């Protein structure tokens, strides 16, 4: 029969939607960039260790020092995924001990520029957001007036 429950209809819709989400370039980019260390690696390679210089290649251990507290696993994983997407290039020199450097590609550099735009927005508006957030929290804490939805019941 053609009758479906709401849950079934949602499940079907979700199945279709997954294809859309998977195909949607901006969602993919967000998934790539939203990793905890991705933007930090990008910044380090794009603006030097001091975050306000020129792009330059860096070694694995140097990145590990700049991104304080990163575990070897996450650093490896992040670098590998960025390399996979052609955003950074990896160069191994057969010295002893082996020397490996990472560097932004042109593609990675262009992404870094775009991310800087986002960074600029957040720097410009961070206090606005903070103010809204504080106001919102204060309103909910001190004046819990019902806003149409259910409100947590006060002590009887």
For residues 63 and 71, the answer to whether their CB atoms sit within 8 Å is: no
Closest alpha carbon to 27 in 39, 38, 16, 19: 19
Rounded distance between C-alpha atoms, residue 109 and residue 114, angstroms: 9
Considering only residues 1, 2, 96, 98, which one is a binding residue for a second copy as defined by CB under 8 A? Answer: 98
Considering only residues 2, 3, 5, 15, which one is a binding residue for a second copy as defined by CB under 8 A? Answer: 15
Binding mask 73-112 for DNA (x = CB under 7 A): xx-xx-xx---------x-x----xxxxx-----------
Residues in contact with DNA, total (CB under 7 A)? 36
| Residue with Cβ nearer a second copy (122 or 144) | 122
Residue 86 binds which of DNA, a second copy, none (CB < 5-8 A, kind-dependent)? a second copy
Considering only residues 54, 148, 154, 155, which one is a binding residue for DNA as defined by CB under 7 A? Answer: 148
Tell me which residues touch a second copy (CB under 8 A): 10-11, 13-18, 25-31, 33-34, 39, 67-69, 71, 83-87, 90, 92, 94, 98, 100, 107, 110-111, 114-115, 117-119, 121-123, 125-126, 128-129, 131-133, 135-137, 147-148
Tell me which residues touch DNA (CB under 7 A): 7, 10-11, 14, 34-37, 59-62, 69-74, 76-77, 79-80, 90, 92, 97-101, 146-152
């Amino acid at each position: 029969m053609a009758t479906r429950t709401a849950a079934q209809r949602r499940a079907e819709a979700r199945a279709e939607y997954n294809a859309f989400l998977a195909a949607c370039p901006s969602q993919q980019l967000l998934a790539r960039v939203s990793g905890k260390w991705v933007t930090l690696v990008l910044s380090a390679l794009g603006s030097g260790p001091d975050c306000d210089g020129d792009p330059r290649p860096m070694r694995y251990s140097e990145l590990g020092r700049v991104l304080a507290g990163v575990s070897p696993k996450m650093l490896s994983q992040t670098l590998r995924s960025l390399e996979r997407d052609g955003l950074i290039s990896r160069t191994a020199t057969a010295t002893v001990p082996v020397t490996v450097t990472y560097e932004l590609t042109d593609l990675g550099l262009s992404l870094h520029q775009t991310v800087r735009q986002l960074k600029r927005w957040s720097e410009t508006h961070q206090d606005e957001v903070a103010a809204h957030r504080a106001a919102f929290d204060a309103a909910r804490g001190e004046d819990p007036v019902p806003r149409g939805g259910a409100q947590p019941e006060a002590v009887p």
